[in-house]
Structure 1
Amino acid sequence: MTSSPLSLSVLDLVPIPSGSDATAALRESLRLAQHAEDLGYHRYWVAEHHNMGAVASSVPLAVLAAASQVTRRIRLGSGGVMLPNHAPLAVAEGYRLLSALAPDRVDLGLGRAPGTDGRTARALRGAAGPMEEPFERQLAELIAFGTGQFPAGHPFAGTVAAPAGDGLFPPLWLLSSSGYGARVAAQIGAGLAFAWHINPDTAQAAAAAQAYRAAFQPSPAFPKPQVIVAASVICAPTTAEAEELALSAGLMFLRLTRGEVASFPSVQEARDYPYTPQERAVAEAARARAIVGDAREVATRLHRLADQTGADELMLTAMTHDPAARRRSYTLVMEAMRAGAVAAD
């Protein structure tokens, strides 16, 4: 078990529970950001998803800007900006502006997936927008806009990403669910965030982290490599209750696979749903990607995950219908992880 304190962070998808709405969901997410800060979580990141009725995280920058005004210490970031959906200049300006709102506590996580289905991705990019824009070219443009350092002869040289000023371009993190993001992060001296909650292949996560560390090129923002591993976690006072809470996410995932746009279901909705054997298998597969249990069980599995992957930090996403149960999950995990670190010392 990990003997040194392990940094913990929050990944929020801003779930919209059935019977509620986006306004209430956003209010609860701001409350979660404050709660996470009070508990000692290191970061509060917001994911980017589109064409999903169950979440209100279509524009992470808007959520983070609001969170910057109700928090003081916790780092705020995107988990992540799906770069193919956006013009690099717009991303550079948005996150420079966020850095002005929350100086020295902004992260810019980047992914190359669309965060949605193909039709919606095309709509995001516009009818004439390129569908196969090379990610690494977009990334190079983003860095040039963010830092103001363009290669000689670049067509955008002289274009200033506003607001101007030193120290406003945040540290970059590359999201990865395979080895590609690890390779790019090592090349540019960025942090690596492995999406174990999407691809719970611990051996692949460990291999990506090892390859990243071996090839890492230091940068001003990252003099040494840093690895975050993201995990879905539902923690409750008893394992039985945690398993009950996890039923909602299984039904949500099933609906996603069928292209349904619906709010995040309650436990009762998930209990009452008339699953076919094939549908139950899909829901149970979603459940298998999460760490679910009481505080001791969850802490044990999280320590094991950190040990097996070599993570410097774990980023936890908790999806429950009840916002109070979500906050409680983060509380129980932090308390148990701290107790485990003290016991190990």
Structure 2
Amino acid sequence: MDSFAKNLLAWFDIHGRNNLPWQHPRTPYRVWLSEVMLQQTQVRTVIPYFERFVRALPSLADLAAAPQDRVLALWSGLGYYSRARNLHRCAQICFAEHNGELPQSIEALSALPGIGRSTAAAILAQAHGQSHAILDGNVRRVLARFHGVQGWPGASAVQNQLWQLAESHTPDKRAADYTQAIMDLGALVCTRSKPRCAECPLHRTCVALRDGLTAALPQKKPAKTIPSRTTTMLIARDAEGRVLLERRPPTGVWARLWSLPEGVDVERPQSFFAPFDRIASPRIQVLPELIHTFSHFRLHITPILMHIDADESRIADDPDRAWVRPDELDTLGLPAPVRKLLAQH
């Protein structure tokens, strides 16, 4: 075990996080679920979602047997919904091909949907004590600063260099503790802004601290202008207070989530119902614009509120379109901006 790992583990024994909900009990299922939730999401945000998810679906078998709508509803609000769909698919594959268990080889585990090399390594290290290097965002930051690695970590050459460094420091013993320790160091001390270098167990040999580069490393991704898109969303409510929802296509943004009808004519939103119905004079209100930002574009939403009478609310038989009561919304996977609009209107 090199000095990097020794100093890090000594710090972890005093300052590390050892009471996270997925650590007690630390089963493969709970570790896997937490690692997927923690992709691009902070611990404090994940904890309540994790606890709600495992209360509803406490085992891999429960997840595999659950309807996709149930899984998406439990995930609703966490974003990046492909993670939830991959979780569900992965659980089903485990029952079809791996005797109802997550595989214990890194090759087989990383081949499953939504489980890449680093996530597989984190699962095997924490659930089974296997020694595998990880390279999530926190680890990239720690290694880039400690070794003074130049370049954007997303570039293949830089990423390969960081993987080599990660492997060189990963010890054969205490793999679970080391994996948690290096993630904790990045999350709690070697933070993106205002790192607490004086508290870092590695500060005496950190290149970035020595050379005054902690603010510059790791280098940021080259700036790119985020494009904008516009859409209209119809909030159609009937006399019973139900709202009309549509299930989105199996690919694209918010795939298979339930959402509000889009692309409706602002001037004549009732035309959306043709040829199912003709609404002579609906009560219509154009609401203030809502802006929702994705990682790769910004969506400008113009909501249209429309109240219609009970005898005008008939829609053609369609499993992907339904009138939904307010008390049913929590059972469906809804995009965050749609949930926000329905809560406000």
TM range (shorter): under 0.3
Work out which structure has the larger RCO, using CA pairs closer than 8 Å and 6 or more positions apart in sequence: 1
| TM-score of the two chains, using structure 2 as the length reference | 0.23
| TM-score of the two chains, using structure 1 as the length reference | 0.23
